[in-house]
């Protein structure tokens, strides 16, 4: 089993930055593809960013490209989401998730952390 705990959310003004962390326990995350997702009230959950297990490939939603950066520190069993130039539309609960098979479903999810961007 893998347990994921997100942290780093909060309230920030538009244009500001936050760094989210997703700490894993139970198993090493080094062999898992890791993703960040977000869900705003009344909206469907969307994929924000993804990084593969070998750290050789990343994906970003068009809405965050150039502003967000996903990274991983396997020694710390932690994945990060650096969010810059935040906009009010980035307001959501952010979740991290892990999957062993790149083409499979995400098997493990964190509890989420709230990000609120004020205008």
Q: pLDDT for 55-74, tens place per residue?
A: 678 999 999 999 999 999 99
Mean pLDDT, to the nearest integer, of 27-42?
94
Q: pLDDT at residue 53 above 90?
A: no
How many whole angstroms separate alpha carbon 96 and alpha carbon 104?
Answer: 16
Positive or negative: CA dihedral 12, 93, 29, 99: negative
Instruction: List the beta strands (DSSP E) in 8-112.
Output: 10-13, 18-25, 33-39, 46-51, 58-60, 68-73, 78-83, 92-99, 108-109
Query: Cβ–Cβ contacts within 10 Å for residue 93, how many?
Result: 18
Q: pLDDT at residue 104 above 90?
A: no
Mean pLDDT, to the nearest integer, of 82-105?
95
Q: Do 95 and 38 meet the contact criterion of CB atoms below 8 Å apart?
A: yes
pLDDT at residue 55, as a whole number: 67
Positive or negative: CA dihedral 53, 54, 58, 59: negative
């Amino acid at each position: 089993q893998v347990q994921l705990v997100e942290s780093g959310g909060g309230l920030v003004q538009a244009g500001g930055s936050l760094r989210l962390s997703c700490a894993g326990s139970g198993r090493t995350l080094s062999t898992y593809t890791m993703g960040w997702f977000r869900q705003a009230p009344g909206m469907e959950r969307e994929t924000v960013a993804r990084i593969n297990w070998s750290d050789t490939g990343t994906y970003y939603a068009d809405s965050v490209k150039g502003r967000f950066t996903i990274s991983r520190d396997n020694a710390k069993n932690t994945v990060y989401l650096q969010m810059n130039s935040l906009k009010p539309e980035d307001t959501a609960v952010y979740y991290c998730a892990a999957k062993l098979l790149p083409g499979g479903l995400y098997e493990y999810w964190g509890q989420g952390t709230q990000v609120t961007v004020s205008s």
